[in-house]
Amino acid sequence: MIRFILGRLLAGLILVVVISALTFAMLYANSENIARRILGQQATQEMIARKTEELGLNKPLWQQYFEWFGSALQGDFGRSWFTGELVSEGVSNRLIVTLTLVLGATLVAAIVAVILSVLAAVRGGWIDRVVQIISVVGFALPGFLLALGLVLVFAINLGWFNATGYTKITDDFGGWSRSVILPITALALGTVSVVTQQVRGAILDGLNRDYVRTLRSRGLGLNKIVLKHILRNAGGPALSVLAVQFIGLLGGAVIVEQVFAIPGIGQLAVSSTVKADIPMVMGLVLVTAIIVVLVNLLIDLSQAALNPKVRM
């Protein structure tokens, strides 16, 4: 088991290093262009040369990368070229907000998807058809459009929720829940449809399994078997789907945050991108890559817990 975890960690580490190198190469390759983007079109050749040197962009790319990597290992990801804010602080402050949304959406989606798929698979009939329609719509509709619709209807026409803004959970729990309910709904729908499709199929498949018939023959009720046995066996594949969804939600949150003016990594990403604040962008890519690797590791471990055959 420990070897399994270490192996996964090592693979994840390699992945993070490769991604950081590729991203670094892409972001820093055109140093002249970077300086020009910062200084504007009127900058003279001399000014650009000075700026390039000031930022250390005149060194060979590999040397820049190793310097960045060396400090990154010590937790120093540099500072913003514009605000002077520490990249580590800037990213982590906003990451908490985004992770709240993404984890919230994942959790909500998982719960709703399990309820919907159990109803659809076991009851069948019109419930099944309604769930199928929700799945197709939720799959096709981009999350941020749903977010726009929700803002239009609930916040602007009905005035039920704060249209925009974010209240910290530590300041006011009620305010916090009102500020996250619409964004989480917008994010969750797509995941609900994908996971529902998956779990519904797995339950339908499970209902025809031999061991289900045998358990029923011993006097257990179907509902109990679905909830305890079939769902447990459907859990593994569903978790893998959820992990892929989680990665997508990190990206989706960037856009949805803008709709609701929530100060997560989305705002930071957009403003750093427009200004070409390269150290900040680099930090963002790295952090998301690390999160993804950690989530995948977590999923692998839960798979092992769910499926005795994977255990070592």
Q: Distance (Å, rounded) from C-alpha 283 to C-alpha 306?
A: 34
Per rule CB under 8 A, count of chain residues that contact other proteins: 87
Closest CA to 287 of 11, 9, 48, 23: 23
Which sign does the torsion angle of CA 132, 137, 143, 146 carry? negative
Query: Which residues, 27 to 56, sit near other proteins by CB under 8 A?
Result: 27, 29-30, 33
Nearer to other proteins, 20 or 179 (CB): 20
Contact set for other proteins, span 161-190 (CB under 8 A): 190
Question: In the set 109, 151, 188, 299, which binds other proteins (CB under 8 A)?
Answer: 151
255 binding other proteins? (CB under 8 A) = yes
Query: Of 1-9, 40-48, 103-111, 241-249, which segment contacts other proteins by CB under 8 A?
Result: 241-249
Angle between helices 2-28 and 278-306 (to 10 degrees): 160
Query: What does the buried/exposed string (b/e) look like for 132-151 if buried means 16 or more CB atoms within 10 Å of the residue's CB?
Result: eebbeebeeeebbebbeebb
Separation of alpha carbons 196 and 134, rounded Å: 10
216 lines the binding site for other proteins (CB under 8 A): yes
Largest interatomic CA distance in the chain: 86
Q: Which is nearer to other proteins, 126 or 171 (CB)?
A: 126
Q: Least distance in Å: CB of 174 to other proteins? A: 25
Segment contacting other proteins (CB under 8 A): 74-82, 105-113, 168-176, 221-229? 221-229
By CB under 8 A, which span of 55-63, 73-81, 141-149, 169-177 interacts with other proteins? 141-149
> Per CB under 8 A, does 214 bind other proteins?
yes
Work out whether 21 is an interface residue with other proteins (CB under 8 A): no
How far does Cα 195 stand from its chain's mean position?
Answer: 15
Span interacting with other proteins, options 64-72, 82-90, 105-113, 217-225, rule CB under 8 A:
217-225
The gap from C-alpha 90 to its chain's centroid, in whole angstroms, comes to 18
Whole-number minimum distance, CB 50 to other proteins, in Å?
22
Q: Out of 75, 125, 159, 174, point to the residue binding other proteins (CB under 8 A).
A: 125
70 in contact with other proteins (CB under 8 A): no
Q: What is the dihedral of CA 27, 33, 34, 38, to 10 degrees?
A: -150
